[in-house]
């Protein structure tokens, strides 16, 4: 049987030069995987027995948005261009649009939240992970409630396991969700797959924290696919800690639909050996005075490869919004391949978009400082790898996830057991 291949996954919304090979990726699902492995959801009954649904939340938001929408005619040239069926030489005031511009304009004037909903990896991945999961767990808070939940996906070699989770945070509520994507190959090199599919609706003034730990062994393909919709004043903090997995795909798309919504993403990653990391972040600012921050910090060693696409889309109408993205990558070995693609799309004035990337080896003044404490260049680079693991272990949400990090660390770093003993 041929491997299932998902093409055009984790695609940038507005592609750049094809020859750079950064626009998207191809996900190969290993062949003949059994549909097993364990998925557990730890959540109070209050959360799982609420009758709210993700679709219902979007419908309710849509009704409010439609009611607030004025009926003034939009006479902008781009709207005329997107709406016309054929181009005419008599109408030189209407510009030609690229495929992307036309799609974006039509989506903007439709104002359809459900139709615009997207996740960061691919709709086919959504279908595949939903199939693996069998059913979707809905975690819904009541207004004003504070709740927490943990989802654990534990893969084993030769199998595929996935979770499908919807989060619906009611107005003024808060929810803290932890997702652990772990695959323990137990010394085997037989392939396995783990993944999670997450849809989040953050209601007005709600506070949603999501932490995803990816700690799979190198034989695993791991996929973390998520889509967010934020209502007015919602605050979402996402932490992606990607430490292990032969091929990992992390994709997040966020629709900052309500005014003053805010999204902060903190990504920490490590890739060693011949591992590959792929990240795709798409933040669409649609509401006014919305804010987003993407902050990624990673270490690449061995002959690992990484692509990080970060797109901030300042959609027409998002006046007063600010988006920023930063990445710091430490290349701890000459053999690594790093690609960073920060993109800012802008169709609004009175907005700010910032991006920056620092890519390099350990800086000379840092090397001297570390040298003054007895660390050679090799030891300094090894420190950055072990520090990434130790930092992840120290800030792990619970002891099971910490144990997964320590298992991974012990396979990668000599004497990591000392650290385990230290924090035990």
Partner 1 sequence: MSTEALLSVSNLTASVDEKTILHGVDLSVRAGETHVLMGPNGAGKSTMGHVIMGDPVYTVNEGTIAFDGADITELSCDKRSRAGLFLSFQAPVEIPGVPLSSFLRASIAGRPGLEMRGKEFRRRVKELAAQLDMDTAYLNRELGVGFSGGEKKKVEMLQLLLLQPKLAILDETDSGLDVDALSVVSRGMDAYRASCDGSLIIITHNTRILEHLSVDRVHVMVGGRIVREDDASLIPWIDEHGFESFEREAADAAEAR
Q: Which of 8, 369, 398, 399 binds partner 1 (CB under 8 A)?
A: 369
Closest by alpha carbon to 292, among 267, 251, 260, 319?
260
Q: Which of 388, 396, 404, 412 binds partner 1 (CB under 8 A)?
A: 388
Residue 415 interacting with partner 1 (CB under 8 A) = yes
Residue 419 interacting with partner 1 (CB under 8 A) = yes
Record the tokens describing residue 309, joined without a space.
Answer: 């696409």
Q: Which of 384, 404, 406, 408 binds partner 1 (CB under 8 A)?
A: 384
Residue 2 interacting with partner 1 (CB under 8 A) = no
Record the tokens describing residue 371, joined without a space.
Answer: 């040298």
Residue 408 interacting with partner 1 (CB under 8 A) = no
Minimum distance, C-beta of residue 391 to partner 1, in the bound complex (Å): 5
Closest by alpha carbon to 30, among 245, 206, 182?
245
Taking CB under 8 A as the binding criterion, the range among 181-189, 220-228, 244-252, 382-390 that sits at the site for partner 1 is 382-390
Taking CB under 8 A as the binding criterion, the range among 5-13, 176-184, 215-223, 383-391 that sits at the site for partner 1 is 383-391
* Whole-number Å distance between alpha carbons of 310 and 65: 27
- Segment 192-231, which members bind partner 1 (CB under 8 A)? none
Number of residues that bind partner 1 (CB under 8 A): 36
Cβ 149 vs Cβ 58: under 8 Å: no
- Tell how strand 276-285 and strand 305-314 pair up: parallel
Minimum distance, C-beta of residue 374 to partner 1, in the bound complex (Å): 4
- Segment 320-349, which members bind partner 1 (CB under 8 A)? 328, 330
* Whole-number Å distance between alpha carbons of 283 and 402: 30
Q: Which of 297, 303, 333, 410 binds partner 1 (CB under 8 A)?
A: 297
Cβ 410 vs Cβ 386: under 8 Å: no
Residue 405 interacting with partner 1 (CB under 8 A) = no
Q: Which is nearer to partner 1, 22 or 383 (CB)?
A: 383
Taking CB under 8 A as the binding criterion, the range among 11-19, 126-134, 236-244, 378-386 that sits at the site for partner 1 is 378-386
Minimum distance, C-beta of residue 236 to partner 1, in the bound complex (Å): 23
Q: Which is nearer to partner 1, 85 or 365 (CB)?
A: 365
Residue 390 interacting with partner 1 (CB under 8 A) = yes
Q: Which of 383, 403, 407, 410 binds partner 1 (CB under 8 A)?
A: 383
Residue 364 interacting with partner 1 (CB under 8 A) = yes
Q: For the purposes of burial, counting CB atoms within 10 Å of the CB of 266, is it exposed (0-12), middle (13-18) or buried (19 or more)? A: middle
Residue ranges in contact with partner 1 by CB under 8 A: 297, 299, 328, 330, 364-366, 368-376, 379, 382-384, 386-388, 390-391, 394-395, 415, 417-424
């Amino acid at each position: 049987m041929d491997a299932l291949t998902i093409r055009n996954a984790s695609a940038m919304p507005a592609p750049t030069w094809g020859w750079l090979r950064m626009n998207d990726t191809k996900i190969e699902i290993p062949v003949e995987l059994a549909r097993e492995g364990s998925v557990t959801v730890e959540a109070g009954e209050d959360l799982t027995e609420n009758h709210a649904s993700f679709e219902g939340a979007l419908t309710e938001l849509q009704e409010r948005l439609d009611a607030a929408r004025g009926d003034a005619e939009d006479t902008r040239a781009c709207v005329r261009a997107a709406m016309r069926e054929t181009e005419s030489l008599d109408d030189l005031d209407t510009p030609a649009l690229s495929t992307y511009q036309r799609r974006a304009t039509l989506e903007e004037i439709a104002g359809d939240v459900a139709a615009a909903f997207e996740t960061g990896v691919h709709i086919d991945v959504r279908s595949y992970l939903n199939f693996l999961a069998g059913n979707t767990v809905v975690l819904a808070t009541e207004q004003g409630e504070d709740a927490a939940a943990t989802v654990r996906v534990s893969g084993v070699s030769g199998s595929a396991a996935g979770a499908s989770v919807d989060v619906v945070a009611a107005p003024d509520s808060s929810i803290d969700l932890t997702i652990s994507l772990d695959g323990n190959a137990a010394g085997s090199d037989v392939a396995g797959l783990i993944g999670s599919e997450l849809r989040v609706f953050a209601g007005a003034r709600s506070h949603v924290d999501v932490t995803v730990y990816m700690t799979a062994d190198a034989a695993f393909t791991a996929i973390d696919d998520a889509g967010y919709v934020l209502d007015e004043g919602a605050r979402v903090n996402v932490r992606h800690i990607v430490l292990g997995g032969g091929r990992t795909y992390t994709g997040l798309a966020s629709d900052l639909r309500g005014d003053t919504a805010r999204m902060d993403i903190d990504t920490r990653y490590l890739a060693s050996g011949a591992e590959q990391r792929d990240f795709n972040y798409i933040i669409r600012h649609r509401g006014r005075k919305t804010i987003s921050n993407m902050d990624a910090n990673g270490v690449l060693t061995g002959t690992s490869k990484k692509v990080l696409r970060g797109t901030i889309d300042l959609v027409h109408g998002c006046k007063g919004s600010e988006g920023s993205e930063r990445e710091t990558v430490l290349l701890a070995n000459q053999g690594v391949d790093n690609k960073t693609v920060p993109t800012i799309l802008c169709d609004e004035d009175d907005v700010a978009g910032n991006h920056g990337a620092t890519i390099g080896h350990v800086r000379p003044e840092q090397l001297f400082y570390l040298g003054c404490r007895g660390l050679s260049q090799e030891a300094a680079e090894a420190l950055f790898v072990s520090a990434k693991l130790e930092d992840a272990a120290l800030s792990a949400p619970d002891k099971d996830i910490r144990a997964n990090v320590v298992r991974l660390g012990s396979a990668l770093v000599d004497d990591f057991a000392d650290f385990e003993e230290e924090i035990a």
